[in-house]
Amino acid sequence: DFAVGVPGGGLLGEANGRRGGLRVHLVEADGSTWATSDIAPRNDESGVGGLPDGVLQAGSSFGSSCAGGTDVNDDGIPDVVVGAPGSQASAGAVLLLTLTRGATASSVTFLPLGGFATPGSRCGAAVALLSSQLVAVGCPNANSGVGSVLLCHLDGSTGMPTGMPKRIQGTP
């Protein structure tokens, strides 16, 4: 299973104002693809794309980073975390997408980044799904440009965030 981010443009045939997108492929054990889906913020009423209107504004760069292959909500289907470092005045955002067997998003959850995601910090420029209960979020411009990593904990059965992240602060 894998996902490919497309942070600079739309996957759905429209110019989506650099909101970005994600192409998800779910693969059988023999290597054959069982499902492929494009997930992107919409800027119209088409009903396609997987993310509700208004979730991310222009310039969000959704898909700049993505990590998946781990089932965070115990439904037997791998899920994915996606960075949008241009979101919210470049404070950044990270979204957890729980996937269906058809490779579409059954739910979309913003991971809480607390006061660590400040304008310009670009949280979500890198993400790693370390386990079904732990996500690492790179914030390269945080801490006056020194950077930091946030560790976000997830509930082991629901995949929902549990509390605020812990920060590992870079040193100059």
Q: What pLDDT score does 42 carry?
A: 59
pLDDT tens for the chain, 172 residues long, are: 677 777 776 555 455 556 777 878 878 778 887 777 777 775 544 445 567 666 677 788 888 999 988 899 989 888 999 999 999 889 999 999 988 888 888 888 899 998 899 999 999 999 999 999 999 999 999 988 999 999 999 998 888 999 899 999 988 7
Q: What pLDDT score does 122 carry?
A: 96
State the Cα–Cα distance between residues 77 and 127, nearest whole angstrom: 19
State the Cα–Cα distance between residues 169 and 110, nearest whole angstrom: 22
Closest to 25 measured CA to CA, from 85, 69, 55: 69
Q: Residue 7 is inside which H or E element, if any?
A: none
N- to C-terminal Cα separation, the chain: 37
Q: What pLDDT score does 64 carry?
A: 92
Q: pTM of the full predicted structure?
A: 0.86
Q: What pLDDT score does 96 carry?
A: 92
Identity of the residue numbered 38: D
